[in-house]
Structure 1
């Protein structure tokens, strides 16, 4: 079964209500997986980075502007990384480290945040190098939580629960994770991106 809900409907009351829903999803999902090719996974975003992202959402969709409240809830959801009861396998594309969200200052702070948390026991983080061979392309961002895959399209959020489709998402995640660098190798990509943004910041 696939269920699609337009973003303008889901966000008709603003961003805070949806963030509260996402908090419940994460709290109820002890082990989740996420693939995000061109932005930072929401649960690792800094306050400044999240403010830019949610501001873009509000501007694009024309929904009520409650960005500070939505950001506060997004920060609240990050407690699952520190409560000792959850684990998340996350794969980013290297492009996620190089897409300018808020400019160099925001990006340096954001990458420092990831470097700080990359060794959390609750997190397994991989980064796919831009030139890496990937046996699963092209594909869009998606989250796996329990018996559901969540996909965020331009116009809507899609929840997939059909077993055969979920098996494809799980296999896709396995292939993407196999293409990613982990541990010290992932840190090297993070440090490379940090150097880029630091040099950009200083002209």
Structure 2
């Protein structure tokens, strides 16, 4: 089954309530997966980076402005990385390291955060190089929990729960993660992006 809900409806009270909802999803998800081609995964965002992202959401969609409260909730959800009860496998597209979110200072802080947290036992962080060849057509980013795949589109959020479709998402994630770089190789890609933003 596939269902979608317009962002204006989901964010009708601002960003805090949906971030609180997401905290619940992450707390219930013992093993999650995410492919994020163009920006940093929300659970690894710094406060400064998340503030820029949520400010853009509020301004673009014209929803109630509660950005500080939404950011606080996004920071709260990151506790799942440190509680010893969760595992997240995340593939970032190399473009995510270069998409300008807030300028050089914000991006440097974000690259430093990735370098600091990439070795957490709860996190498998891969970087998919821009030139990587992998066995599927390019696709938008998605998050996976045990029972669904979730897409964040321009106008709505989409949840996919059909078992056959979920199996294809797992297959796609395996292809993406198989082409991604991990460990020291991923660290070199992040270091390269950090050097770029220091000179920006």
The answer to whether the aligner puts 1:44 opposite 2:35 as a matched pair is: no
**1:145 maps onto 2:145 in alignment:** yes
TM-score (norm 2): 0.99
Q: Distance in 2 between matches of 1:132 and 1:139?
A: 14
In 2, the alpha carbon distance for the partners of 1:41 and 1:27 equals 16
Secondary structure of the corresponding residue to residue 144 of structure 1: strand
Could you list the per-position Cα deviations for residues 98-120 of structure 1 after superposition, in whole angstroms to 9, with x for gaps in the alignment? 00000000000000001000000
Listed as ranges, the gaps of 5+ residues in structure 2 are none
Q: Count residues with an aligned counterpart.
A: 200
Number of the residue aligned with 1:102 = 102
TM-score normalised according to structure 1 size? 0.98
Give the distance between the partners of 2:59 and 2:174, measured in 1 at CA.
Answer: 35
Task: Look up the match of 1:9.
Answer: 9
- State the 4+ residue runs in structure 1 displaced beyond 6 angstroms: none
Determine helix, strand or coil for the equivalent of 2:5.
Answer: strand
Which residue of 1 is the match for residue 84 of structure 2?
A: 84
Find the counterpart in structure 2 of residue 166 from structure 1. 166
Deviation, structure 1 residue 199: 1.0
**SS of residue in 2 equivalent to 1:72:** helix
The DSSP-based 3-state class of the residue aligned with 1:151 is strand
In structure 1, stretches of 5+ residues that fail to align are none
Structure 1 Cα separation of the partners of residues 31 and 199 of structure 2: 37
Q: For residues 198 and 131 of structure 1, what CA distance do their matches in structure 2 show?
A: 23
